[in-house]
Structure 1
Amino acid sequence: MKNLKINNRFTAELPADPDESNEPRQVTNALFSYVNPTKPANPQLIHASETVAELVGISKDEIQSEPFLNAFSGKEVLPETRPYALCYAGHQFGNWAGQLGDGRAINLTEVEHNNQFFTLQLKGAGKTPYSRTADGLAVLRSSIREYLCAEAMFYLGVPTTRSLSLMLSGDEVLRDILYNGNPAYEKGAIVCRVAPSFIRFGSFEMITSRNELKNLKQFVEYTIKHYFPEIEGEPKDQYVQFFQKVADTTREMILHWQRVGFVHGVMNTDNMSIHGITIDYGPYGWLENYDPNWTPNTTDSQNRRYRFGNQPQVAQWNLYQLANALYPLINDAKPLENILESFINKFNSDYKEMFLSKLGLFTSIETDSELITDLEENLQLSETDMTIFFRNLNRIKKEDSVENAFEKIIDAFYIPKEIANNVLENWTSWFSSYLKRLQTEKLSDEERIAKMNTINPKYVLRNYMAQLSIDAADQGDFSLVSEFYSLLQKPYDEQPEMEKWFAKRPDWARSKVGCSMLSCSS
């Protein structure tokens, strides 16, 4: 790959683990460990993103080449590179977990292209010093979900890592999908994901927890220098500005999650990026019916810490842990506390504006909060598909009667016969208020609808769709992976030929493993 410009800033400037044995262990006074990927038995390219390849300096023709296959399956190490795994810690489900690290991810290298820097990372490429008792591998089902979801999120306008390639390894991997004592062999796979870096909140937590303050200072200053060059001033002021930047981009990311109905499922501090991008797609999902208490993660089914409606609060809690990690450099809690206190206030203000835009209301008036609250309550009276409901609001015109308006969103209800009596009265009341509110908007119907159609997606990667592509791929048919990849590149477009995917979750998917129930198993 002739235009791949290697630039290993991370390994050149930060302390490495001197022990290069690939055995699980505690790693101290180091931010990473050198480790080579496990060579796959018989790698096969399933799909690759031409746009992401171009982003990092790989041509369309090179995607089909043997060097591409070998490099991004882990079969061969790129020239002038030394792959490595990151050392980090984290809070998992609110509890301190200590050292975690890249247990099944290996960073191949950093590259520079068009004055931008990217880290290329293989997920599922084998054991690292941070794998603990695991094998560091990944299976086809989780790899398809990660590959498609990252790209789906990008085209939805949600900050995210990107997906370069999806490959079969040719190896069989043993997994217990629901942790119920029934392990089975599955096809192994490898995803190459791309991000500015894979530095996490837990990267700083790890160093501070071990009181490695010299490394902490060096790491924070490295991060500011390379990823936040606009930050200036005295060192302590820079550290506070850095925290403010992370808080701001995290808030914006969560706002986008709520806008499109995305639930991450594993918002541990080790899964939070300092770039404010979505990373680590495990048991995620999109809301089918609008349920703020839904989580896709079976591990979280009892406490529902990472439920849809709690994501802003968890983000703030995670930022609090990052603030604790940075505190030894600042020695002043007040500026950090101010940022944390303002996080939810700013989020709530932004959330109101975002929610109104989903309704096609682009100016705010005093009664809008009540309109939003009433709608959120109505959406939970009977199973209501979030994506279809908000997308179909684009059919409503200012001059519509309440009956006509209601009829235009009726397809969003899973059990239409439940929309009767008090439920129907509540909806009638809400649509009456909504139509009156539309009359106050200066935009024409056509202008308003055009703007709404850039905010409310028509197509998202519903869990049942991902599962259909997985089931087909298990049989060697990757056509649905390609079809969904194409579909999700234009999630706001009508795409009449893809209309069948603008549909509620089918009954068979209501309780099917992989559709409503997902675990942290790879």
Structure 2
Amino acid sequence: MKFNIQDTFNKELPADPITENSRRQVERACFSYVTPKHTARPSLVHVSPEMAEELGLSEEDIRSEEFLKVFTGNTVLDGTAPYAMCYGGHQFGNWAGQLGDGRAINLMEVEHNGKHWALQLKGAGETPYSRTADGLAVLRSSIREYLCSEAMYHLGVPTTRALSLALSGDQVLRDVLYNGNPAYEKGAIVCRVAPSFLRFGNYQIFAAREDTATMGTLVNYTIKHFFPELGAPSKASYVQFFQAVADATLEMLVHWQRVGFVHGVMNTDNLSILGLTIDYGPYGWLEGYDHGWTPNTTDRQHKRYRYGNQPNIGLWNLYQLANAIFPLIGEAEPLEAVLEGFKTKFEQKYRDMMKSKIGLYKADDLDPHLLDDLEENLQLTETDMTLFFRNLANFKKQVTDSGAFMEVVGEAFYVPDEVSGEVLEKWKVWFATYQSRLGQEELSDTERKQKMNSVNPKYVLRNYMAQLAIDAADKGDYALIDELFVLLKKPYDEQPEQEKWFAKRPDWARNKVGCSMLSCSS
């Protein structure tokens, strides 16, 4: 097994001079060298063939003992120096100080076919940033991250990727609901892959410590390797860098809203500088369309990270990043202009995205109430987001009775009997307006359906689906992991043999742990 190793982060940036792996505050350094923990009886659960190919790995490589050892942390490849990154962050709106890679260890950076990848193990042991935790992860959360990161990629959502999922052979103690009832679970390790795992908090930590020199070094490194088109370091290129980060963040958020993904814990240390979905913790997929829903039990009271608030939080986090890099620029106006532009751009991109979801493509003035009324109607009674928008593509221009909409989207309503009286009238009015607007479109029903189906997925990783895979894997059966992995590689295809997954959340999953609300517990 050979990699084209091209490490840059741990060669070009300042390292923690202390090599002892003890919990501590790390000053004036971007990372600390660490060695992954040896595990008891590692075993491979699943590997992504697509990601392996991206890294230049063959099937023989994947089956090798060396692959198992390297990607469970039991072997460190010659010529590499694993490390954990130092960063801070705002957690639920409050500055938390130093955080860092508490259970992630970066193995190496690899280049293949003109692409640059950083490989990171999650759950491979403690680091100087682990605080009071053990640096480990469990099978439950590892399956969720492994499946979801690859599923998001195939949905077209900017994301980190996953190469492998393995059992450590160790038992890990976790209090899944934070209710004082910890239990031992199977330990697991995921190999995560991305061009970089830099996040907003990497820059914030130096601003908080008034260490402008180290932050400048990190920003220059970031521009050199990930935004080279911005040129040499200067005030102008720093502003352009912030603009690029804002644009990438906006693009990611629009995709989240499009597919109904709720991150659940949008702290500034969980926002990628490259606009990638990062850190799959208590995420969730909208079952019933609800702007107020969050999957995170920790956020149950204030719902800061609810679905409808994700764009606002993205902007709030960008404000924090602007504050962090301000000392490099010395002027607030250009940063404020980027932030103001974010609001305007998001409104337009969100509107365009929603138009594409309902099959409207003409570049004319749209009745502003059409989209607003749709989002209000979707919340009048519990309505499955994925089923509604996917089935909406079957609505015909020439339907004479707008009340016939129930034949098209009725399957999406959890309690169809509730679509009566005032609720029914509101839907009739909306579909009548929608039908009239469709009449202005030049595309045929068939052509429109094809376009709508390219942005409205048929299959997403609903929480209950992941939980079924977790329950089976706990018993040593990994078949469902593979079935879902294959299913979610083609989320926009009909896949008639997998129709059972195109369905509303079953009643048994409504309040089941892991299917509705989740904690930040690993």
TM > 0.5: yes
Deviation at 1:212, TM superposition (A): 1.3
Deviation at 1:234, TM superposition (A): 6.1
Alignment partners' CA distance in 1, 2:64 and 2:280: 28
Report SS of the residue matched to 2:167: strand
Which runs of 5 or more structure 2 residues have no equivalent in the other structure?
none
Contact preservation (8 Å) 1:406, 1:431: no
Structure 1 letter corresponding to 2:226 = Y
Which runs of 5 or more structure 1 residues have no equivalent in the other structure?
none
| Cα deviation digits, residues 383-410 of structure 1 (max 9, x gap) | 0000000000111111123133331100
1:192 pairs with 2:194? no
Alignment partners' CA distance in 2, 1:404 and 1:387: 20
Name the stretch that deviates more: 158-167 or 338-347: 338-347
Name the stretch that deviates more: 207-216 or 498-507: 207-216
1:5-404 equivalences in 2 (<5 Å): 5-232=4-231, 235-400=234-399, 401-404=401-404
| Cα deviation digits, residues 77-134 of structure 1 (max 9, x gap) | 1111010000000000000000000000000011111121110000000000000010
Report SS of the residue matched to 1:357: helix
Deviation at 1:365, TM superposition (A): 3.5
Residue in structure 2 matched with residue 438 of structure 1 by the alignment? 438
Report SS of the residue matched to 2:515: coil
Deviation at 1:233, TM superposition (A): 5.9
Residue in structure 2 matched with residue 504 of structure 1 by the alignment? 504
Alignment partners' CA distance in 2, 1:247 and 1:147: 27
TM-score between both structures, scaled by the size of structure 1: 0.99
Residue in structure 1 matched with residue 481 of structure 2 by the alignment? 481
1:447 pairs with 2:447? yes
Structure 2 letter corresponding to 1:453 = N
- List structure 1 runs of 4+ shifted beyond 6 angstroms: none
TM-score between both structures, scaled by the size of structure 2: 0.99
Alignment partners' CA distance in 1, 2:422 and 2:194: 49
Deviation at 1:266, TM superposition (A): 0.4
Deviation at 1:183, TM superposition (A): 0.1
Percentage of pairs with the same residue? 65
Deviation at 1:344, TM superposition (A): 1.4
Contact preservation (8 Å) 2:220, 2:233: no
Report SS of the residue matched to 2:393: helix
Alignment partners' CA distance in 2, 1:198 and 1:233: 23
Contact preservation (8 Å) 1:90, 1:269: yes
Alignment partners' CA distance in 2, 1:322 and 1:16: 23
Structure 2 letter corresponding to 1:374 = D
Alignment partners' CA distance in 1, 2:365 and 2:452: 21
Alignment partners' CA distance in 2, 1:254 and 1:368: 24
Alignment partners' CA distance in 2, 1:298 and 1:345: 32
Alignment partners' CA distance in 2, 1:56 and 1:343: 35
Alignment partners' CA distance in 2, 1:368 and 1:454: 24
Contact preservation (8 Å) 1:352, 1:369: no
Structure 2 letter corresponding to 1:165 = S
Residue in structure 1 matched with residue 462 of structure 2 by the alignment? 462
Alignment partners' CA distance in 2, 1:470 and 1:218: 43
Structure 1 letter corresponding to 2:38 = K
Deviation at 1:208, TM superposition (A): 1.2
Alignment partners' CA distance in 2, 1:67 and 1:233: 41
Structure 1 letter corresponding to 2:410 = I
Deviation at 1:217, TM superposition (A): 1.1
Alignment partners' CA distance in 1, 2:368 and 2:481: 41
Alignment partners' CA distance in 2, 1:459 and 1:157: 13
Structure 2 letter corresponding to 1:385 = D
Name the stretch that deviates more: 49-58 or 300-309: 49-58
Alignment partners' CA distance in 1, 2:18 and 2:74: 23
| Cα deviation digits, residues 333-353 of structure 1 (max 9, x gap) | 000000011111110111001
Report SS of the residue matched to 1:5: coil
Query: How many pairs does the alignment contain?
Result: 521
Structure 2 letter corresponding to 1:70 = K
Contact preservation (8 Å) 2:402, 2:432: yes
Contact preservation (8 Å) 1:15, 1:32: yes
Contact preservation (8 Å) 2:97, 2:205: yes
1:408 pairs with 2:405? no
Alignment partners' CA distance in 2, 1:438 and 1:105: 50
Deviation at 1:265, TM superposition (A): 0.2
